[in-house]
Structure 1
Amino acid sequence: MLFQLPEINREATKKKIEAILDNYRVVLLQVPDDLLPKVTAGFNLVPPSNTNAFHSSTEDTAIKRTEMEEKRNDFLAKVQKAVNRLPANERQIIIMRYMSQDHRFDYEVYNEIGMSSRTYFRIKSRAFYNLAFALKEEVYVKGSAS
């Protein structure tokens, strides 16, 4: 019995991977300013509960910040590992186009690599397909799983 892979929705998969790679660049530069601890007194009309549990906004902020940083680092590591599993030419395209500090357009990347436009887009498409499998983010066509 042979393994039959269900049909992949290429366009939806491409959009999903592009969104992940765009998110990667944003997350890489992200500094959470909104989770700073409060340094001024706050007043509330609701009386405190009598649970004898200590509640500190500074501790809550520190915990949220640590959890958020851990999630961010996990996401970055997951994407980096998946990209590192790609073949060299696919990896080069993805890194130059989506993972560098400066925003580049496709024509800048394929001119810098010295590749024709057609070859570049063919390899880029294959890179998205492989990256979707590496990240387990592929989108299947409904009803194609046999």
Structure 2
Amino acid sequence: MGKRRKNNLQLTFNILPIDEKATRRAVEEYLETVRQYRQIGFVRREAAVTQAYVYREHQTTNAISKQTETIAVYNVDKEAELKEKDRLLSLAMERLSSVQREVIQRSYLDNEGEFDYISCGEMGVSDSTFRRIKKEAVSLLAMQLRLAKWDEPKSNMVL
């Protein structure tokens, strides 16, 4: 066994005021969005035209509803956003070590929904080591994807 290398970026995480729960939640939501996009692609919205046979009294708000325009803009913007998220995640995953990449892939991006203890056995690592690697990888992804949530500074002043 060789000496375990620490990434310089990992050493600074301990001194930064990061809210770990909120950061982990943000990264998991990001990874789940990308996983769904990779698995099923983008589902476009379509305009629904339903005729009503009841007379509706309209108010004079002068507001115009542009349903088709709104849906078209949403479809274009959302698909571009999902493609960009996928691209950024691919770039961030390339910067992780091979073990960290495998842990993130197995835990979040594979569609099989495998339990962590099964992944531990297949990778040949202990449960605590797996959790440590996963925590480090999520922290690195949070910084690379700019998803880190910062703790609110606590004021020491008493009013």
Q: What TM-score, normalized to structure 1?
A: 0.72
Of 99, 107, 120, 2:117 maps to: 107
The answer (yes or no) to whether the contact 1:22–1:98 under 8 Å persists in 2 is yes
**Residue 94 of structure 2 aligns to which amino acid in structure 1?**
N
Q: Percent identity?
A: 25
Alignment match, 1:86: 96
Q: Mean Cα displacement is larger for which, 129-138 or 76-85? A: 76-85
SS in 1 for 2:138: helix
- By relative contact order (CA 8 Å, sep 6+), the higher-ranking structure is 1
The alignment partner of 1:23 has SS state of helix
Q: CA-to-partner distance for each residue in 1:115-144, whole Å, 9 max, x for gaps?
A: 111111111111111111111111222228
Q: Which position in structure 1 is the counterpart of 2:83? A: 73
2:25 paired residue number:
15
TM-score normalised according to structure 2 size: 0.67
Separation of aligned partners in 1, 2:71 and 2:149: 36
Q: Which of 99, 116, 138 is matched with 2:126 structurally?
A: 116
8 Å Cα contact 1:6/1:141 also seen in 2: no
Amino acid at match of 1:36: E
Q: Which moved more, 1:102-111 or 1:61-70?
A: 61-70
Root-mean-square deviation over aligned CA pairs: 3.2
Unaligned runs of 5+ in 1: 47-55
Alpha-carbon distance in 1 for matches of 2:109, 2:69: 34
C-alpha separation in 2, matches of 1:11 and 1:125? 11
Distance 2:124 2:22 in 1: 29
Aligned residues: 137
Note the residue ranges of structure 2 that are not aligned, 5 or more in a row: 1-11, 59-65, 155-159
Q: Secondary structure of 2:31's match?
A: helix
